[in-house]
């Protein structure tokens, strides 16, 4: 999702900890952890308050989740609806969605507008940035943060500029005494501005939880790629070749260069026309030149802007940040020559005043007029909810801040490029920024739709545009100082003024450039306090994930009936669960343990316990009380999940060869469903459900899915997936996944069969590998046109999945003699590890003999997952011996590598045959016999 961060808080008991370093800590939301870890936000919607008063998800988080659910591709569990294509679909009558946008919240708008238009002088330079971030997201808030910083940073050159402007008016001269120093001051200001803004960016990124934004930014809905597995972590990603994008970029920048050449030629042509008009004694020529100049500007501003955006879209960038950065580069390469060709002092004041009043009036008026023309009213304000929604729907969308940043950069140029000619320009820029902040705030609050929240950690490529403008300020003002004034010219004692001016410009330029680069390098790296903060957040997040995993493992280790019947737990069971929830806080656990033992709070009492009762029991810390209630909610939630899955599995158990009784059509399995199946097994199946699925097939309690059971196991796996993810679909009449079963048995599963650990850890990965092999297959019929009703009717419709309706395969696989599992291998054919370990089995027996009965019982439970109390000697003994050998290796050295089962199978079969002759019952091994005598059996077998 777009926003997946929750703000962590700390308790007040940490008296000797510097709390400042623990502020603004953001971590991913983790389930199963105590609720007080995450900051709770008030719920603004009265309808929500009926259910809860606060939530760790803010309103903007919910909007971001909704947006991701709608726009994400189906492969990413979204609806796959691209908002930019909705209008096209609607025009063709092919889509039910007309539009999608969040509604404004009047209470939050009033808070921001009251701050923006307050008469309090403290609010003139301080914008409601945190409120904007909460409402609009970091992307828009970062723009207003930049505008606020820009305005404040102007103050030094505004004050000095006013002084020199007054001197110019008093003397009637432009080059007054000291004006060169002011120009140098502006150069230093322009050099420092992007550097100090970068430091301020880090502050806002840390405050708003965006320090890891580059690692977590989502994909643009407009991005089009092919889905494949990541080469880094194996996750499903949408991929577009960088080489293909680079080829497109080369072509795009070729077009940009052509436009730049055309712009230069047009500018030269306009200058030539001005010269011709000045020489011609005809008043109409000035009018002709003005019209030509206006046409040139309109052409390059409008036509090029559209072409640049189309080229940028064609290059197919993955994230919004990449898209905007490349668009900025294209447009700024075009804009700067035109913007810097303005007249100097005589026109700067007119330009600022025009921008301040006329441009803003046109900007607001056009948005208001567009809404009225579409049938909306002049204002959002309406007591009728339907009218208010209609007015917002008829308003324009606010997609990006590109035009607003562009205006600020133009203002930046006016303020700094020609300060010698017009020192009052910084003041006009300062005043323009104050007005612009109010105009833009009013625009996004009252004239535009509320945009979906977007995240951002900086201003993107505008940072490079600022640095480029700083170089322009350096070159322009340095040239004006040296060529228009004699104060800074270096005298070489020769009578060549032009030479001295050029040398002076070059020397000063080199000195300032070196100082600039030195300053930039000092502030280029991420500040130390930011690096420490990132590591601190990573550590907290890791600990929370470990805690959540401990709780999940606790539930997975329980039987289904134990979870569903948690209200019957005794005190020890309840305390064991609470200890898992509080695995890192022994102090709190000891307090809870003492209270539960004192008042004999078992599962039945725990189920009815209320928070006010805990106070009577002596729980005075409200966080501990919240923790106890939270632990009970976890139990209720997991028990509910187990009951639902049990009900679903009961239906699965009753599944016959006929079509399922669902009202929907028969389910059609396609290629992409394999990936969904893998994700389902990996992320959604609980431990109890996996065990239940396993036990349904492993009837003989051998802890192995053997070759003759693999097809049946896959059948139930597919049916379970269909019933969970597509409950309205019917199950095909005959669905026998023979091909995938053969593939698993041939490439992945050992001769002994599939163990539960392999199923739990690797099954999803194997399904993905099979899917990858399907995609690379040359057969075009894979998964296409599959229908359960037609399976088996035509052999040409058979797929690589093998849903061919043939039941003979599973019948033939079942013809397997019982002695096949303990078939002796001639010693000359033994693998090297079997030979090496033949002389170490006495050590394995010694380790087992030293092991206490409780540990032996745990070893037994690992292989006897159904708690049958006995193991089939023929089918399970080799696997059990391998488990004991693995235990021995880990006891000797935790980091030691255990040989593969296939490499030791010849030896273990030989040992198993010898042990089998010593068993009281040659066909089975009982648990008690294992605990009491198995070590001696193994020792004797090793000696033989």
Q: What is the DSSP string of 193-205?
A: HHHHHHHHHHHHH
With beta carbons less than 8 A apart as the criterion, state whether 701 and 864 touch.
Answer: yes
User: Where does residue 312 rank: exposed (0-12), middle (13-18), buried (19+ CB within 10 A)?
Assistant: buried
User: Closest by alpha carbon to 420, among 665, 240, 164?
Assistant: 164
Sign of CA dihedral 931, 936, 939, 944: negative
With beta carbons less than 8 A apart as the criterion, state whether 2 and 52 touch.
Answer: no
Count of CB atoms situated within 10 Å of the CB of 436 = 23
Which residues face 47 on adjacent strands?
none
User: Closest by alpha carbon to 109, among 449, 360, 471?
Assistant: 449
Q: Quick check: helix, strand or coil at residue 27?
A: strand
Q: How far apart are CA 905 and CA 925, in angstroms?
A: 19
User: In the numeric block, which tokens belong to residue 926?
Assistant: 């009982």
What separation in angstroms does the CA of 569 have from each of 7, 566, 858? 35, 5, 21
Q: How far apart are CA 240 and CA 8, in angstroms?
A: 36
Give the distance between the most distant pair of CA atoms in the chain.
Answer: 125
Q: How far apart are CA 864 and CA 669, in angstroms?
A: 35
With beta carbons less than 8 A apart as the criterion, state whether 642 and 564 touch.
Answer: yes
What separation in angstroms does the CA of 619 have from each of 562, 589, 879? 28, 12, 50
With beta carbons less than 8 A apart as the criterion, state whether 330 and 308 touch.
Answer: yes
Task: Give the position of tokens 């900086």.
Answer: 458
Q: How far apart are CA 97 and CA 94, in angstroms?
A: 9
With beta carbons less than 8 A apart as the criterion, state whether 932 and 848 touch.
Answer: no
Task: Give the position of tokens 């726009």.
Answer: 71
- Domains of the chain, by residue range, sit at 42-100, 109-218+342-374+384-476, 531-648, 830-943
User: Closest by alpha carbon to 369, among 399, 395, 407?
Assistant: 395
With beta carbons less than 8 A apart as the criterion, state whether 637 and 566 touch.
Answer: no
Count of CB atoms situated within 10 Å of the CB of 549 = 14
With beta carbons less than 8 A apart as the criterion, state whether 537 and 27 touch.
Answer: yes
Q: How far apart are CA 201 and CA 845, in angstroms?
A: 64
The model scores a pTM over 0.75: no
- Residue 9 has a pLDDT of 44
Q: What b/e sequence results for 111-131 when a residue is b if at least 16 CB atoms lie within 10 Å of its CB, and e otherwise?
A: ebbebbeeeeeeeeeebbbeb
- Residue 3 has a pLDDT of 40
With beta carbons less than 8 A apart as the criterion, state whether 715 and 699 touch.
Answer: no
Q: How far apart are CA 650 and CA 648, in angstroms?
A: 5
Which residues face 872 on adjacent strands?
924
Q: Residue 175 has what DSSP assignment?
A: S
Q: How far apart are CA 484 and CA 704, in angstroms?
A: 91
* 3-class DSSP string for 209-235: CCCCHHHHCCCCCCCCCEEEECCCCCC
- Residue 764 has a pLDDT of 83
Q: Could you report the average pLDDT of every consecutive run of 10 residues in the chain (944 residues)?
A: 42 59 83 76 60 70 83 71 60 65 86 86 86 91 95 94 90 82 89 90 90 69 68 65 80 78 74 69 65 66 72 77 71 48 50 64 73 70 78 84 86 83 88 90 88 88 86 81 61 60 73 77 76 88 83 77 85 84 70 86 87 79 80 85 72 50 62 78 76 75 74 83 77 68 78 77 81 61 32 32 37 36 77 86 88 82 74 82 83 70 84 86 85 88 82
Torsion of CA 342, 347, 350, 352, to 10 degrees: 50
Q: How far apart are CA 27 and CA 24, in angstroms?
A: 10
Q: In the chain, how many H helices and how many E strands? A: 38, 10
With beta carbons less than 8 A apart as the criterion, state whether 845 and 939 touch.
Answer: yes
Q: How far apart are CA 279 and CA 273, in angstroms?
A: 10
Count of CB atoms situated within 10 Å of the CB of 511 = 10
State the DSSP string of 926-938: EHHHHHHHHHHHH
Which residues face 184 on adjacent strands?
none
Give the contacts of 635 (CB within 8 A, at least 6 positions apart).
563, 566, 577
User: In the numeric block, which tokens belong to residue 7?
Assistant: 């703000």
State the DSSP string of 507-527: HHHHHHHHHHHHHHHHHHSPP
């Amino acid at each position: 999702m777009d926003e997946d961060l929750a703000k962590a808080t700390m308790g007040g008991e940490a008296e000797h900890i510097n709390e400042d370093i623990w502020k603004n800590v953001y971590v991913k939301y983790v389930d199963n952890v105590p609720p007080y870890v995450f900051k709770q936000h008030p719920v603004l919607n009265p309808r929500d308050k009926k259910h809860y008063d606060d939530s760790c998800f803010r309103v903007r988080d919910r909007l971001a989740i909704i947006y991701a659910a709608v726009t994400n591709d189906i492969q990413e569990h979204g609806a796959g609806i691209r908002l930019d294509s909705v209008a096209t679909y609607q025009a063709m009558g092919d889509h039910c969605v007309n539009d999608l946008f969040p509604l404004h919240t009047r209470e939050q708008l009033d808070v921001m507008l009251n701050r923006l238009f307050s008469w309090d002088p403290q609010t003139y330079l301080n914008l409601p940035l945190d409120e904007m971030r909460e409402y609009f997201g970091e992307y828009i808030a970062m723009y207003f943060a930049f505008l606020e910083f820009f305005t404040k940073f102007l103050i030094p050159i505004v004050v000095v500029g006013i002084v020199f402007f007054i001197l110019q008016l008093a003397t009637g001269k432009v080059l007054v005494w000291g004006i060169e120093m002011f120009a140098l001051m502006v150069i230093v200001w322009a050099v420092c501005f992007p550097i100090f803004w970068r430091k301020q960016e880090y502050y806002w990124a840390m405050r708003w939880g965006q320090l890891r934004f580059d690692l977590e930014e989502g994909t643009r809905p407009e991005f089009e790629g092919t889905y494949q597995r990541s080469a880094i972590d194996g996750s499903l990603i949408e991929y577009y070749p960088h080489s293909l994008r680079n080829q497109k970029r080369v072509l795009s920048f070729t077009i940009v260069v052509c436009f730049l050449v055309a712009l230069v030629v047009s500018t030269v042509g306009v200058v030539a026309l001005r010269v011709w008009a000045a020489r011609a004694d005809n008043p109409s020529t000035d009018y002709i030149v003005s019209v030509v100049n206006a046409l040139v500007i309109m052409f390059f501003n409008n036509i090029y802007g559209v072409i640049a955006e189309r080229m940028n879209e064609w290059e197919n960038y993955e994230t919004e940040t990449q898209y905007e950065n490349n668009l900025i580069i294209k447009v700024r390469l075009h804009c700067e020559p035109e913007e810097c060709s303005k007249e100097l002092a005589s026109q700067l004041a007119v330009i600022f005043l025009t921008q301040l009043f006329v441009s803003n009036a046109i900007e607001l008026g056009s948005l208001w007029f567009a809404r009225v023309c579409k049938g909306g009213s002049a204002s959002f304000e309406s007591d009728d909810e339907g009218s208010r929604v209609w007015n917002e729907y008829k308003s324009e969308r606010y997609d990006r801040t590109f035009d607003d940043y562009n205006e600020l950069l133009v203002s930046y140029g006016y303020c700094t490029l020609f300060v010698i000619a017009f020192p009052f320009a910084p003041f006009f820029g300062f005043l323009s920024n104050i007005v612009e902040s109010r105009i833009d705030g009013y625009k996004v609050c009252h004239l535009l739709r509320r945009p979906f929240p977007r995240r951002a950690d900086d201003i993107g490529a505008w940072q490079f545009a600022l640095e480029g403008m700083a170089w322009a300020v350096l070159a322009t003002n340095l040239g004006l100082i040296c060529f228009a004034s004699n104060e800074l010219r270096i005298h070489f004692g020769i009578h060549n003024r032009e030479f001295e001016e050029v040398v002076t410009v070059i020397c000063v330029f080199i000195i300032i450039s070196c100082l600039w680069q030195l300053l930039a390098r000092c502030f280029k790296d991420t500040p130390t306090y930011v690096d420490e903060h990132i590591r601190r957040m990573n550590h907290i997040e890791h600990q929370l994930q470990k805690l959540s995993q401990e709780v999940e493992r606790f539930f997975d280790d329980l039987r289904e009936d134990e979870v569903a019947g948690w209200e019957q737990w005794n005190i020890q069971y309840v305390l064991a669960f609470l200890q898992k929830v509080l695995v890192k806080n022994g102090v709190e656990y000891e307090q809870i343990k003492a209270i539960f033992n004192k008042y004999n709070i078992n599962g039945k009492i725990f189920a009815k316990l209320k928070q006010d009762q805990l106070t009577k029991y002596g729980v005075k810390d409200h966080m501990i009380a919240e923790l106890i209630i939270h632990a009970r909610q976890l139990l209720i939630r997991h028990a509910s999940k187990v009951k639902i899955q049990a009900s679903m599995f009961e239906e699965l158990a009753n599944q016959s060869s006929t079509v399922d009784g669902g009202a929907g059509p028969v389910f059609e399995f396609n290629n992409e469903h394999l990936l969904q199946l893998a994700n389902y097994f990996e992320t959604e199946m609980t431990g109890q459900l996996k065990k239940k699925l396993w036990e349904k097939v492993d009837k003989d309690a051998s802890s192995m899915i053997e070759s003759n059971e693999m097809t049946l196991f896959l059948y139930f796996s597919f049916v379970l997936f269909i019933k969970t993810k597509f409950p309205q679909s019917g199950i095909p009449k005959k669905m026998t996944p023979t091909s995938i079963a053969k593939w698993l048995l041939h490439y992945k599963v050992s001769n002994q069969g599939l163990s539960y650990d392999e199923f739990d850890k690797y099954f999803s990965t194997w399904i993905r590998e099979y899917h990858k092999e399907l995609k690379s297959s040359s057969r075009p019929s894979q998964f296409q046109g599959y229908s359960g009703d037609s399976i088996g009717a035509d052999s040409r419709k058979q797929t690589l999945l093998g849903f061919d309706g043939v039941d003979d395969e599973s019948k033939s696989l079942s013809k397997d003699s019982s002695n096949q599992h303990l078939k002796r291998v001639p010693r000359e054919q033994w693998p090297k590890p079997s030979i090496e370990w033949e002389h170490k089995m006495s050590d394995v027996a010694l380790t087992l003999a030293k092991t206490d009965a409780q540990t032996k019982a745990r070893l037994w439970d690992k292989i006897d997952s159904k708690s049958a109390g006995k193991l089939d000697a023929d089918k399970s003994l080799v696997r059990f011996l391998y488990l004991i050998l693995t235990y021995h290796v880990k006891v000797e050295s935790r980091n030691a590598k255990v040989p593969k089962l296939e490499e030791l199978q010849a030896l273990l079969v030989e040992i198993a045959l010898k042990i089998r002759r010593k068993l009281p019952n040659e066909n089975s091994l009982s648990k008690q016999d294992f605990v009491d005598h198995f070590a001696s059996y193994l020792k004797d077998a090793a000696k033989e």
